[in-house]
Structure 1
Amino acid sequence: MDRTSAAEIAEKVRTGTWTARAVVDTTLARIAAENPRLNAFTLVTAERARQEATRVDQLVAAGQNPGPLAGVPFAVKNLFDIQGEVTLAGSKINRDLPPAQQDAILIQRLTAAGAVLVGALNMGEYAYDFTGENLHYGASRNPHDRSRMSGGSSGGSGSAVAGGLVPLALGSDTNGSIRVPSSLCGIFGLKPTYGRLSRGGSFPFCPSLDHVGPMARSTQDLALAYDVLQGPDDQDAALVKRPVEPAGTLTEKLDPSLRIAVLGGYFAQQGTDAARRALQRVADALGIQSTIEIPEVAAARAAAYVITNAESSTLHLPNLRSRAHDYDPDVRDRMLAGALLPATAYLQAQRVRARFQKIVAGVFTQHDILLAPATPMTAPAIGQKTMALGGEEMLVRPHLGLYTQPFSFIGLPVVAVPVQLPDSLPIGVQIIAGPWQEAKALQVARVLEGRGFVSTVPQY
């Protein structure tokens, strides 16, 4: 069952071939066996999972439809509220908060669709991380090589899905925190358009950049989750009121009218040979020869850092004043730096953001899909501090988001697609679409998956 898709589980449960309770019991047993080696979970909600599975089975027995995700186990990054549990957000400080009074909106929607929550997942402290390392709860490990990083900050989500502990997980993505672990762990991840999915009941990091989305081992599962996660919610002021726009039926046939280009310039520099080969493999699979450059990408990434530091430090200022010693020093120091930024720097960063948004909007008048690397390298070793990129020695922690930040910055929808190179750990490629065009990015990802871009659960 560790390789069974969410779609297949739901079909077998709906038809009575499997019971949801049996699926959950098997899932909980696998978590118990493998999580000590992966450190993906910080909480297992076994009792709740069994109760939810029993409810699904009762609906099936009564001849009722339990939903499109009937009996599918899922887990969530531990910044999503789970009723009756403390929302850790990867921190020590949050342990002192009261338990959540209700589930996060996206958990409610998955549960209403028949999915079964089995726990909360490890993450970088307060989501300020690309590595999957956590000072308080330990590093979540890469299932392909447990000495390697899972990526962050949704590292536990990447590890749990790639390791076959659950077929679906929720993550968050501010500067790349869904796409980086998806790339390093070899799975599919969706960062939707900013304002598409509700963040209601999730612990914030940088409100004007925060996204939430699903991670899975197949595009079909990613699309299934995405479809049920959509909808209105008054809790999230950034949520844009749009009708539900499902991904629809994904096929292995590429629409010949889609205008697709590979991003060069900034996105061809600094990355390792693995990143370049993965991008070329995707371009070859799609028959794409067109390469374009987007100006001012480096400035956009710099401005994203300013906005991230300024907004996150504002949220954490009371604790930075009273409990600075309870933060991971790397997280604390960046937030303190953000607290010292002058207002003029934040305003200038927002001006850069508006200008870059216009530049990229112009690009999407000529193209429907853009291709770029997801990470500059495959998974580094846990504890590794620097990496060689473009002839320079760079810090690992910030630069794993080298290629993801510019697209979070302007809220574009992106699907991370895993690429398996010969004699290499997996590495991802970003399928970038225009605003509200998630279905196009998912369709291209499905075409690639059908042409051999399939992530497999590692054998232990």
Structure 2
Amino acid sequence: MSVDVFAPAHRIAAQVRSGEVGAEVMARAFLDRIGRIDGKINAFTDVTAARALAQAAAIDRARAAGEPLGPLAGVPFAAKNLFDIEGLPTRAGSKINRERTPAWRDAVLIERLTAAGAVLIGGLNMGEYAYDFTGENVHDGPCRNPHDLSRMAGGSSSGSGAATAAGMAPISLGSDTNGSIRVPSSLCGVFGLKPTYGRLPRTRSFPFCDSLDHLGPFARDVTDLALAYDLLQGPDPHDPACAQRPVEPVSAQLTKGASGLRIAVAGGYFATDGLPEAAAAVGAVAQALGATRTVALDGAEIARAAAFLVTNAESAALHLGRLQLRADDFDPDTRDRFLAGAMLPAAWYIQAQRARRWFHDQMMRTFEEVDLIIAPATPCPAPPIGQKVLEIRGQTLPLRPSLGLFTQPISCIGLPVAAVPVAGGGLPIGVQLIAAPWREDICLRAARALQEMTICSAEPPKGI
């Protein structure tokens, strides 16, 4: 039987559990696809074929013996290369890190998916040290958008978005500090989830900015996204930021849809005037969900400024030793931003943290009146690789930071967001579905409703 590489992960797992398709057959099909097309896309930096085939064979043996299989039995997945993968150095997209001793153990989130039967097939390309929105890695080469190979995949989780969009990994893991799940989700046309800050443990992943770093999944289907999220949940004592909250499964709640939710469109700073693709996407989602009002979200611009300062200061402190010893081994753009952060006055950092708290309090008052907020994910679809500026609302702005124009204010205060791809026939573009802390269920219910209405879908790339 032929394998449909674009089938939802939950359907793949059902095929493996029933014996319709063996786990090893499934793994070989995806490894073959990686071998045939990844030379064009450059999503993978490491392919763990031997590990994948060994695990798949073990799943097949367990099924033959009548043993129960996990909810993701035989489903291939891949992880951004800042996650520890046993036996591989944790690159974090850098030149320097690839000289590290290979990881002795997988990251916690990889362990959790593996325990559920998912089969790891590799590590994924990313922006250096996650400080990037483009996916143009100077050490490993740019990750290309499967929908148009001349265009960016978005970053910093570029390989995660591209591999999932191209049918090379039904589920992938990424990280989001200022938008690094939501930007590639938008540009590559897949679903992504940035959970509440502190919801998922970051144990054995390489950090970027501790007070802003989140980890989360990508998928081509909302049911898969929710299932992966449920399996990833749970505290871990080795990540002090990971809240000691009970696991709150959301998969069973998806059937509630968006019925009864108070839904608003983000205005003010998030207005899409002069951004035709973003405006059309937000408008389609708002109409489908019956959004009845607009909220200004005053202070978003201040929150974005605070995110810049916090990111600069905390990441520079992390990398100071590397900067002192091996400055020439950094991407020059990344290095210069780290150096700038190392020189920030402490008072600026303190004021940025105050601004974060102020904006958080503003948003909590907004969530007393609404349950879900719709906002653009990126100001435009994927730009060409190598482009350096964006024209936004009559201004010429540097492209690299501006792709995070709409994601950074939300990261700054750790809100849960589902990024959803809007079907339109051209290049993909995404929309953010934003809820109050710990209400990932609301984001995913609305995403599922949009998928069922075919307003949002992960369309297979043409010609790949």
Alignment gaps of 5+ in structure 1: none
Once the two structures are TM-superposed, the CA of residue 250 in structure 1 deviates from its matched residue by 5.0
Mapped pair 1:181 → 2:184: yes
- Pairwise CA RMSD of aligned residues? 1.0
Select 1:446's aligned residue among 442, 445, 448: 448
Aligned pairs (5 A) from 1:382-393: 382-393=385-396
3-state secondary structure, aligned to 1:190: strand
Q: Superposed, which structure 2 residues align to 1:66-215 within 5 Å?
A: 66-215=69-218
| 1:415, distance to aligned residue in structure 2 (A) | 0.1
Superposition deviation, residue 420 in structure 1: 2.1
Superimposed CA distance per residue, residues 10-66 of structure 1 (whole angstroms, 9 cap, x where no aligned partner): 001011111100000001000000100000000000000001101111111111122
Q: What one-letter code is carried by the residue in structure 2 that aligns with 1:172? A: S
Partner of 1:305 in structure 2? Answer: 308
- The 8 Å contact of residues 175 and 408 in structure 1, kept in 2 or not, is answered as yes
Q: CA deviation at 1:286?
A: 1.1
Which amino acid in the other structure matches residue 75 of structure 1? A
Q: Is the 8 A contact 1:154 1:172 kept in 2?
A: yes
Aligned equivalents of 1:69, 1:306: Cα separation in 2: 40
| Preserved CA contact (<8 Å) 2:262 2:291 | no
Does residue 319 of the first structure (1) align with residue 326 of the second (2)?
Answer: no
Counterpart pick for 1:32 among 11, 31, 35: 35
State the identity as a percent: 58
Kept in 2: contact 1:2–1:457 (CA 8 A): no
What is the match of residue 344 of structure 2?
Answer: 341
Cα distance in 2, alignment partners of residues 327 and 419 from structure 1: 36
The Cα shift of 1:309 comes to 0.2
Post-superposition offset of 1:455 = 1.2
Partners of 2:306 and 2:356 within 8 A in 1: yes
Q: Deviations over 1:129-184 (max 9, x none)?
A: 00011000011010000000000000000000000111000000000000000000
Q: Give distance in 2, aligned partners of 1:133 and 1:121.
A: 13
Q: Which residue of structure 2 lines up, in the alignment, with residue 54 of structure 1?
A: 57
Q: 2:418 aligned with 1:415, yes or no? A: yes
Task: State the TM-score, normalized to the length of structure 2.
Answer: 0.98
TM-score (norm 1): 0.98
Displacement of 1:459 in angstroms is: 2.8
Q: What amino acid is aligned across from residue 446 of structure 1 in structure 2? A: R
Structure 1 residue 403: Cα displacement? 0.3
Q: What do residues 296-322 of structure 1 show as CA deviations (whole Å, max 9, x unaligned)?
A: 110110010000000000000001011
SS in structure 2 opposite 1:430?
A: strand
Kept after mapping to 2: 8 A contact 1:188/1:415? yes
Q: Which residue of 1 aligns with 2:427?
A: 425
Distance 2:43 2:280 in 1: 29
- Secondary structure in 1 matching 2:150: strand
Partner Cα separation in structure 1 for residue 122 and residue 383 of structure 2? 27
Q: Is the 8 A contact 2:372 2:443 kept in 1?
A: yes
- For 1:198 and 1:430, how far apart are their aligned partners in 2? 23
* Partners of 1:270 and 1:376 within 8 A in 2: no
Deviations 1:170-226 (A, max 9, x none): 000000000000000000000000000010010000000000000000101101100
Q: Which runs of 5+ in 2 are unaligned?
A: none
Question: What SS does the aligned partner of 1:249 have?
Answer: helix
Q: 1:455 and 2:458 equivalent?
A: yes
- Alpha-carbon distance in structure 1 between the residues aligned to 2:136 and 2:258: 40
CA distance in 2, matches of 1:429, 1:333: 31
| 1:454 to partner: Cα distance | 1.1
Q: What letter is aligned with 1:78? A: N
Look up the equivalent residue of 2:181 and give its one-letter code: I
Aligned equivalents of 2:251 and 2:389: distance in 1?
Answer: 42
Aligned residues: 459
1:400 corresponds to which letter in structure 2?
Answer: L
User: Is the 8 Å Cα contact of residues 250 and 446 (structure 1) preserved in structure 2?
Assistant: no
Pick from 283, 293, 303 the counterpart of residue 280 of structure 1.
283
1:256 positional shift: 3.1
Give the Cα separation in 1 of the matches to 2:277 and 2:395: 17
Structure 2 letter corresponding to 1:348? Q
